[in-house]
Amino acid sequence: MINVIDEFMRRVALCVWAFIGAPCAFADAPSDLSGQSLEELVNTGLSTPPKNVTVATASKYRQDSSRAPSALRVVTAEDIRTYGYRTLVDVIRSLPGVYVSNDRNFINIGVRGFDRAGDYNSRVLLMIDGERSNENVYDSAYVDNGFLLDVDLIDRVEFIPGPGSAIYGNNAFFGVINVITKSGKDFNGSEMSGEYRSFDTYKARGSYGKRFDNGAELLLSATGFDRGGPDKLYYPEFDTPTQNNGVAEQLDSDRNQSAFGKFSWGPVTLEGGHNRQNKAIPTANFGQTFNDPQTHIENGLSFVTLTYEDRIAQDWIAHTRLNWHRYDFLGDYVYGPPRTVTRSTSAGESAGGDFQLANTSFSGHKLIFGVEFQDNLRQNQDIFMSGRTDTNHSHRYGIYLQDEYRITGKLTFTAGARYDYISYGYSSANPRLALIWQALDSTTAKLVYGTAFRAPNIYERYYMDDSTKINPQLRQEETKTLELILEHFLNTSTRISASIYRYELKNLMRLTHDPQDRLAVFENQGPITAYGAELEGERRFRNGIRARVSYVWQHAAYDAGQTLSNSPQHQAKLNVSLPLRDDRWRIGFETQYMGGRYTKDGKVGDYALGNLTISGDFTRNFGVSAGVYNLWDSKYADPGGADLRQDSIIQDGINFRLKLSLRF
Amino acid sequence: MLRRYILAFLLALASGSGTPVAYADSVSEYELKAALLFRFAQFIDWPAPVKDTFNICIYGKNPFGSALLSLNGKKVQQVPVAVKYPHTPNEIQDCRMLFLDQTDAKRLSVPVAGLPILTISDDPGAWDESVMVVFIAEPNRVAFSVNRSAAQSVGIDFRAQMLQLAYSLR
């Protein structure tokens, strides 16, 4: 570990040196703006962090970030290119206080110290263009290659940490991720992109986008991805001669095909996507036979949405959406001897809508009122090894109201609440109150109180088989949060922010064993209290260098005393990018420090990762990106869930990617 | 290890803020917005020709600081630009471009109605008040949305290049 630390500190020292030395080394100042074309101007990078960023997720409408009733973070398409992000996972883990755990089966998101193995991200709401993308059987959210969108189609990702139920209802428990897609004009023609990565990985994408003269816009894109994976993965827990000495051979492959389309004309947008993933599992989870080549999972997601957004009368804006979603899952699990392959499947389908009206009739007030409805046409799950299927049909609705009241030019008070009803016996009302004080031109303070809930999903509520029983008393999870956020500009080019928060949670669901009948059952756990602090700094230099640094401290423990597993006390992140020649070429370097985490039976050590990417355009039509990930080959592991015999799962070492893009 | 990381963090910030901020050509948010305002004028057709000066007006609070001063005297359609700061609805009659926030857009919607004045704002809420051009502030860029139908209703139109670059188009 000492080596890793030293290595890491050397990297940090390098960056600090870059801070001091860089202005001398890269003294090329940008050219005078007055001679630049409109296209050059809209592509000009800012040498100062903007005071306000336009955001759409915190309140379900576009507003200045300084008036948004929450902490929030934005990752742009440019960040994705500069730092060589390969999937949404890379985007998410770059956010302060957010981390991921990969058990080579599913990637779980951790927010502010909460990363509960086996929740399949049901405590985070993942959206695409404001449309819920958690499926309706497990409420899971896929962020790796199972995610509906190719990362190259992302215009920006907005992340709202903390409870979001006051506006989004169920599952917006620890945070809301809204992925906003590019549109036709961002391509303005065709683009072909191909990439090769370590572990025998290939990806190809073809996209076409256009904005027509009448203002209509079209985007079509398709992606194929194939990863062979590491040839061998060693798990000492299975190191016996009959189990291939603990070596899983070529069992971490991952393939997916996805397609996305979007058409907009005036106030109407039609959008749809499909993704199908096929992933091998090397870990022999759920007590399977080790190193069997047939062990794998497949999942498919599809959606279509139709939205209408327009001013319908003086002071009235309507925002309406209709949606349809489909989900299917298939797992082939191998047991024996005698060798038997057990197929487990589940399927979901839903149709729904969201009708929202915004009103600005009252001076200083912006009111929104909305109704969301979802008919879960199908929520089916196989009963393991029985040949039977548990079929469900349910519905849910939510009613929400929010008022943004500008009391004075400097003081804004936002109050909102939402009531949710789920037809299989759950309902919840959740408020959010935010007082925002723009104390000075350079300083903003926000005080936010909010609650959130998560109802048991169909699996948690209804799954039963020979070894699992239903808990009819299973209650919904609830959280209450108080947060203070401060943002201050030290000077025009340096922004610092701090956030202090306290969470109270109760009834977190967990699969346990009833000692009397030895059956597995979901139980509500005792209360949890968490508190933490997030510090961030951003500095930009006039020569084009940009740097962001964050440190997060948090502590989450059961009120009975035990600290949560998979909950790092310390996290730190640093992102630096600098232009080469002109702004068309950039080097992006990021490093992430992750503190130690408790596992089921022990602890995984802290680690530091570094990634380095060079990207740019040779010509207008030919772009390239080359990146090295886990730069100093850090050996690190993520905690494993209850389905694993392993206490933790070792992650990939140093690897690289080369990506070429052709535009015509 | 943690202490060293915090130290590095503070050092990084300190070295950052200690660096002299004296580079001549910087592109701050409002310098860029000012440059965009001026550039827009070349891609917009007004129904009547300009008379003496091309008036760019900032109504209410001026977030540009001194960034607009450089536009004074530059020429649009062979006519010199004049930056003005009207305070009453009567003073906006001569404006070609009018920069305002959502509250003022709402307040001025009646006096501005029908006049061939291009309204511009960087308040996201102004989009809902049918302001014709609205800046979208991104973490590292400034984009803009265009409400073409609102502009056309008073005889203003945009050239294709500007429409092609707009973030949203209504």
Residue B76 CB burial class (10 angstroms; 0-12, 13-18, ≥19):
buried
B79-118: per-residue pLDDT in tens?
899 999 998 888 888 899 999 887 788 778 777 788 899 9
Please name the amino acid found at residue A572: A
A chain contacts of residue B125, beta-carbon cutoff 8 Å: 62-63, 360, 366
Residue A44 forms contact with B (CB below 8 Å): yes
pTM of the model: 0.92
pLDDT at residue A647, as a whole number: 95
Q: Comparing C-alpha atoms, which of A424, A508, A428 is closest to residue A472?
A: A424
From residue A206, give the alpha-carbon distance in Å to each of A96, A147, A256, B72.
Answer: 33, 18, 15, 47
B chain contacts of residue A185, beta-carbon cutoff 8 Å: 164-166
Q: Which of A16, A215, A317 sits opposite B11 (nearest CB)?
A: A16
A chain contacts of residue B142, beta-carbon cutoff 8 Å: 41-42, 44, 46, 50
Q: Which of B128, B164, B166 sits opposite A317 (nearest CB)?
A: B128
B chain contacts of residue A213, beta-carbon cutoff 8 Å: 160
DSSP 3-state of A178: strand
Q: Which of A5, A30, A491 sits opposite B21 (nearest CB)?
A: A491
Shortest CA distance from A216: residue in chain B: B169
pLDDT at residue A226, as a whole number: 98
- Residues in A 615-644 with any Cβ partner in B closer than 8 A: none
Q: What is the DSSP letter of A459?
A: H
Shortest CA distance from A315: residue in chain B: B129
From residue A547, give the alpha-carbon distance in Å to each of A151, A161, A443, A552, A662.
Answer: 23, 22, 20, 17, 29
Q: Which of B42, B103, B170 sits opposite A266 (nearest CB)?
A: B170
pLDDT at residue B5, as a whole number: 52
A266/A214 Cα distance (integer angstroms):
9
For every residue of A476-491, DSSP letters joined together read: PEEEEEEEEEEEEEEE
pLDDT at residue B11, as a whole number: 53
pLDDT at residue B17, as a whole number: 41
Task: Express as a percent the part of chain B with pLDDT over 90.
Answer: 44
Residue A63 forms contact with B (CB below 8 Å): yes
CB contact under 8 A, A53 and B70: no
- Phi-psi category of residue A14: left, alpha or beta, with phi > 0 → left and psi -120 to 50 → alpha: alpha
CA distance B115 to chain A (A): 18
CB contact under 8 A, B29 and A30: no
Shortest CA distance from B38: residue in chain A: A34
pLDDT at residue B88, as a whole number: 86
A417/A199 Cα distance (integer angstroms):
48
| pLDDT band, very low/low/confident/very high, at B26 (cuts 50, 70, 90) | low
Contacts of A442 (CB under 8 A, 6+ apart): A488, A489
CB contact under 8 A, A38 and B138: no
ipTM of the complex: 0.86
pLDDT above 60 for B163:
yes
CB contact under 8 A, B138 and A496: no
Overall size of chain A counted in residues = 664
- Residues in A 160-219 with any Cβ partner in B closer than 8 A: 185, 188, 211, 213, 215, 217
User: What's the token pair of residue B20?
Assistant: 């002299």
Q: What is the mean pLDDT for each group of 10 consecutive residues in chain A (664 residues)?
A: 50 48 38 79 88 92 92 95 97 96 96 90 97 96 96 97 96 97 95 97 98 93 97 96 95 97 95 97 95 96 96 92 97 93 95 96 93 97 88 96 94 97 97 96 95 96 92 96 96 94 96 92 95 96 91 95 94 95 86 96 95 94 96 96 94 97 95
φ, ψ of residue A84 to 5 degrees: the values are 65, 35
User: What's the token pair of residue A102?
Assistant: 């990969």
* Residue of A42, A309, A551 to mutate, interface with B, max B Cβ within 10 Å: A42
CB contact under 8 A, A211 and B11: no
Q: Are A450 and A431 in contact (CB under 8 A)?
A: yes
Handedness of CA A155, A22, A571, A432 (dihedral sign): negative
B chain contacts of residue A53, beta-carbon cutoff 8 Å: 137-139
pLDDT at residue A6, as a whole number: 52
A chain contacts of residue B146, beta-carbon cutoff 8 Å: none
pLDDT above 80 for B20:
no
CB contact under 8 A, B164 and A211: yes
φ, ψ of residue A639 to 5 degrees: the values are -60, 145
Q: Are A67 and A404 in contact (CB under 8 A)?
A: yes
CB contact under 8 A, B36 and A41: yes
CB contact under 8 A, A19 and B28: no
A575/A550 Cα distance (integer angstroms):
9
pLDDT at residue A2, as a whole number: 47
CA distance A539 to chain B (A): 7
Q: Comparing C-alpha atoms, which of A640, A649, A572 is closest to residue A610?
A: A572
| pLDDT band, very low/low/confident/very high, at B15 (cuts 50, 70, 90) | very low
- Residues in A 495-514 with any Cβ partner in B closer than 8 A: 496
